[in-house]
Amino acid sequence: MKAAPCCILCLLLLTGGRAMAQADEPGLGGPPTEPSPPPPARPAPPADHTAPSPAPTEPGEPGQPGEPRQPAGGDLRTLARARQACVSGAACPMVPDLIRLLSSSGAAVGAADVLGGTRDRRAVMPLAQAAAYGATSALRAAAQRALGRLAGTASVKTYMGRAAKLDPDPRTKAALTAAVMGVGRGAAPTARVSGLSLRGGVVPSHSDNPIAGQRTKYSFPDPESPRVIYGPTAFMRKKGVWDWTITQLGLWNFDYGVTDWLSVGVEAAPPIVFFTMFPHIKIGTQLGKSVSIAVRAMGGLAYPYISDIDGHFGIIGGGPILTIGDADMSFNISWPVFATFVVEHKKQYSTPYSYEYEKVNEYENGWLTLPNIGFSVRLHRRIKLNFELYSVAAQGFEHNGKFWLLMYGIRIMGQRIFGDINFVMPLFEDSDEVLQYMPIGYPLLQFGFQW
C-alpha cells in the first residue's frame, strides 16, 4: 500500500509533461499559430566576368548553337599586354604566356597571330600542334599563317626543317613542312597539304624556292637543276633569282630569272689572252607535272688581244630542250645548232721586201651542232648523280658522227650553294690512246651559288 502513492505520482508527472509538450507544438493540442513569413529573397550576385566561359562553337562542333560564348577577360588582358610588349623583330618576353593562350577559348587566334611575329623558336611546336589539332578552323588557319611567318627567319626555318624531319606525328609534320615549303599559309594542314605529301609533291613558287614549279620529296630542290652538267635543261629559275656558276675557274656563267618562264644570262671568261662574251636567253614552261619544254638561244664573240693572234671567232644559234621528270630525277634532250664565223686579220704587203702593207680580213663561215642527252638522279638530300653524252659535228670536221663526249659526275648541294665533281671522256676511233693516261676521264670542276 505504501507503493501506491508513488505510482500515482509518477503517472501524473508523465501525463502532465506530455500535455505541456503538445501545447507547445502547433496542431498538437496547443493554440493555433500563424505561419511565419518567408525570408526576403537575396539578390543574385553580379556576373563574374573573370570566370572562364566555354569556347564558341562552329557548325559541326560540339556545343549549343546560338549561345554566345565570350573569351575570358583575364586572357584578353594578357593578350593586350602581349601585343604591346612583343614588337615585331624584337625579343618577346611574353612567349610562354602566349603559348598558354593557344588553349584559351577566345584569345587563341590573337595569340597565334602575335607568336608569328616573335621570331622565337619556342613557338614552333605549340603552333604546329594548334595548326594540326586546333579547336576551330580559325585557330588552325591562324596557327599555320604564324608558322609561315616564323619561317621567314632563317634560323627558325632551319629549326622547323629539323623538327619536321624528326616529328613522328604526320599532322604536325605536315604543318611544319608546309611552313618550310611555303604551302598552305592560309589554310590548315592535313596529312597531305595543298598537294604536298610527306614523301613528295609540288614545290610552290615562293621566295625561298630558287626553281619555278618543280617537284621534290626533299626539303629543297636542286638549285642547279636548270642544267645537267654543261647542257641546259627545260627547268626555269624563279623570278628574281641570280646564279653564278664557275667552270674550271676559267668560264663564268651568270644567270638571272626575269620571270618564272624567262631567264637571261651571259657566259664569259677572265680577260686573259681572250676577251669573251656569250649572252644567252631561255624561255620555258611546263606542259604537265613531269614534262617541261624550253628554247635557248645564244650568241657571242671571242676576241684575242695579244700580237701573235690576229682575228676573232663568233657563234650564234640555239635549239629546243625537252626535260621529262622532276627536280629529283629527269631525262633531258637538247639539240642546239650554231652558225659560226671566223674573221682573220692579215697583213698584205705591196712587195715581198716592203714595209708597207694593208690589213685584209678573211672570213670563214660554218656551222656547229652539239646534240646531247642527259640523265640526273638525286641519291640524297645533298647528292645528285649526273650524266651527259654529246655528239660533236661541224662543217669540215672529219669525225662527224664519230666523235662523242661522255660526261659524268656528282653534285654536292645546299639550298643556295653547290659544287660539281665531273669527268669528261672523249670517245672516238683512237680514244684508247688518250684514255690510257686518264682512264676515268679529264676532271671538270664546277661550283657556284645563288642569291
pLDDT tens digits, 112-138 = 888 888 888 899 999 999 999 988 888
Model pLDDT, residue 116: 87
Dihedral, CA of residue 186, residue 192, residue 194 and residue 198, to nearest 10: 100
Does some domain include residue 380? yes
Model pLDDT, residue 408: 96
Q: Does the pTM of the predicted model rise above 0.85?
A: no
Q: Grid coordinates in use for 184?
A: 598552305
Q: Which amino acid is at 60?
A: G
Burial class (CB in 10 A: 0-12, 13-18, 19+), 236: buried
Collapsing DSSP states into helix, strand and coil, what is residue 161? Answer: helix
Q: What is the distance between the alpha carbons of residues 409 and 421, in angstroms, rounded to a whole number?
A: 5
Shared domain for 359 and 300, answered yes or no, is yes
Of 166, 198, 230, the last residue of a domain is 198
Collapsing DSSP states into helix, strand and coil, what is residue 124? Answer: helix
Q: Which amino acid is at 227?
A: R
Does some domain include residue 225? no
Shared domain for 264 and 149, answered yes or no, is no
Shared domain for 291 and 428, answered yes or no, is yes
Shared domain for 99 and 179, answered yes or no, is yes
Model pLDDT, residue 127: 92
Model pLDDT, residue 191: 38
Does some domain include residue 372? yes
Total residue length of the chain:
451
Shared domain for 286 and 367, answered yes or no, is yes
Shared domain for 193 and 342, answered yes or no, is no
* Contact predicate 420/446, CB 8 Å: yes
Model pLDDT, residue 49: 42
Model pLDDT, residue 190: 41
Tell me the residue range of the domain where 140 lies.
74-198
Model pLDDT, residue 332: 96
Does some domain include residue 69? no
Does some domain include residue 93? yes
Shared domain for 398 and 264, answered yes or no, is yes
**pLDDT values of the chain reduced to their tens digit, one per residue, 451 residues:** 444 444 454 444 444 444 444 444 444 444 444 444 555 544 444 444 444 444 444 433 443 333 334 455 788 888 888 888 887 667 888 888 889 888 877 788 988 888 888 888 899 999 999 999 988 888 999 999 999 888 888 888 888 888 888 888 888 988 998 888 875 444 444 433 333 333 333 343 333 456 666 667 777 788 888 999 999 999 998 888 899 999 988 889 999 999 989 999 999 988 887 788 999 999 999 998 889 999 999 999 888 777 556 677 888 999 999 999 988 899 999 999 999 888 776 665 555 655 555 665 676 888 999 999 999 999 988 999 999 999 999 888 888 888 999 999 999 998 889 999 999 999 988 888 888 888 899 999 999 988 8
Taking the mean position of all CA atoms in its chain, how far away is CA 162? Answer: 13
Shared domain for 188 and 256, answered yes or no, is no
Does some domain include residue 206? no
Model pLDDT, residue 309: 60
Of 138, 172, 198, the last residue of a domain is 198
Dihedral, CA of residue 305, residue 306, residue 310 and residue 315, to nearest 10: -40
Question: Structurally, how many domains does the chain consist of?
Answer: 2
Q: Which amino acid is at 161?
A: G
Does some domain include residue 392? yes
Query: With pLDDT > 70 as the criterion, what percentage of the chain qualifies?
Result: 71
Model pLDDT, residue 352: 60
Shared domain for 249 and 390, answered yes or no, is yes
Model pLDDT, residue 280: 95
Specify the CATH number for the domain of residue 441. 2.40.160.40
Q: List C-alpha distances in Å: 14 to 1, 22, 24, 26, 31.
A: 21, 13, 16, 20, 21
Model pLDDT, residue 429: 83
Give the strand pairing for 274-286 and 291-304: antiparallel
Shared domain for 256 and 346, answered yes or no, is yes
Shared domain for 194 and 258, answered yes or no, is no
Model pLDDT, residue 345: 67
Residue 174: φ, ψ to 5°: -65, -40
Q: Which of 410, 419, 414 is nearest to 221 (CA)?
A: 414
Does some domain include residue 411? yes
Q: What is the distance between the alpha carbons of residues 148 and 162, in angstroms, rounded to a whole number?
A: 15
Of 198, 221, 251, the last residue of a domain is 198
Shared domain for 191 and 307, answered yes or no, is no
Q: What is the distance between the alpha carbons of residues 191 and 322, in angstroms, rounded to a whole number?
A: 33
